Structure 1
Amino acid sequence: MPYRSTQPRPVSHPLSRQEGLRLLGNVTFGRLVFISRALPGIRLVSHVMDGEDVLVGLPEDCAVVSLLSQVAPVVYEADALDTATRHGWSIVLTGRAGLVESDEEIARALRLLRPWPGEEIGVVVRIHPELVTGTRIDDGP
């Protein structure tokens, strides 16, 4: 006989673009997904929001930097999940990314970004979202 929990069953709700972008501003890291040599790559990165755009900090010698020397399609994913309750949210942003070249914008981003331990941010990437999808999981109404 299957176990039946007396806890409310988590329910999934789609999120609007605005809510997804707002939630991205509540976390400082996510996953940058890109294509390199016809294969998908994923890199855990720090980010900050700049309006609707996502600014990502990368080390200068990172392999993905050369791919983004010209505007390229990427996917960015971030989430906040509680493994005990299975509540939280996940946002997937699809858009175009390119290197930030303005010294002023780079300096501002470097003040806000928190690099990973042992890494130095040498390059800032701007992702302009074209599609934002997301899901919130909670106990429902």
Structure 2
Amino acid sequence: MPHRTTPPPPVTRRLSRAESLLLLRNVTYGRIVFISRALPAIQLIPHAMDDGALLTGLPTGIGLTALLTRPAPVVYEADLLDPATRLGWSVTLTGRAGPVADPDELGRALTRLRPWPGRPIELVARIQPELVTGFRTFSP
């Protein structure tokens, strides 16, 4: 008679800062959290890693571009999760976002960022990570 075994349950492990930042290179969209009209707001936006910082493309009309006349605190979250197995990873980055003003840097950033269809990029912002946390859930 065949013997059936139960697969081991998934394992969740915290990620280091370096592992977390490396995983952000694997996806092109995430969610930015910021304060708008004294309330938290969240938007899906494109990103690209650049020398340990996160370049983000901010679409027209999300209410964040006016706040970025000087570096502003933000939270950014990105993940890659399989809804069927619940395996994958999630990374949260907290830092200060400021506009990219240098024309050469702005041009390079715009070639790397993939705007969401119908949501053109109005402003490119660079987030300098201050706190980076993440986790990965996998089958052992």
User: TM class, shorter-chain normalised?
Assistant: over 0.9
Superposition deviation, residue 61 in structure 1: 3.7
Aligned residue for 1:79? 79
The AA in structure 2 aligned to 1:100 is V
* SS of match in other structure, 2:121: coil
Gap regions ≥5 residues in structure 1: none
4+ aligned runs moved over 3 Å, structure 1: none
Q: Does 1:36 align with 2:36?
A: yes
Paired positions, count: 136
Superposition deviation, residue 56 in structure 1: 0.5
The AA in structure 1 aligned to 2:81 is L
Q: Does 1:103 align with 2:103?
A: yes
Aligned residue for 2:63? 63
Gap regions ≥5 residues in structure 2: none
Superposition deviation, residue 60 in structure 1: 4.0
Aligned residue for 2:17? 17
Cα pair distance change 1:60/1:104, threshold 3 Å? farther
Q: Deviations over 1:37-59 (max 9, x none)?
A: 22100000000010110000112
How much identity, in percent, do the aligned residues show? 58
CA distance in 2, matches of 1:122, 1:39: 22
Q: What root-mean-square deviation, in Å, do the aligned CA atoms of Structure 1 and Structure 2 show?
A: 1.3
CA distance in 1, matches of 2:27, 2:79: 8
Q: Does 1:90 align with 2:90?
A: yes
Superposition deviation, residue 6 in structure 1: 2.6
The AA in structure 1 aligned to 2:83 is T
Aligned residue for 2:50? 50
The AA in structure 2 aligned to 1:125 is A
Q: Deviations over 1:2-31 (max 9, x none)?
A: xxx933211110000000000000100000
Task: Tell me if structure 1 keeps the 8 A contact 2:45–2:59.
Answer: no
Superposition deviation, residue 36 in structure 1: 1.4
CA distance in 1, matches of 2:126, 2:10: 34
CA distance in 1, matches of 2:12, 2:90: 11
Task: Tell me if structure 1 keeps the 8 A contact 2:88–2:136.
Answer: yes
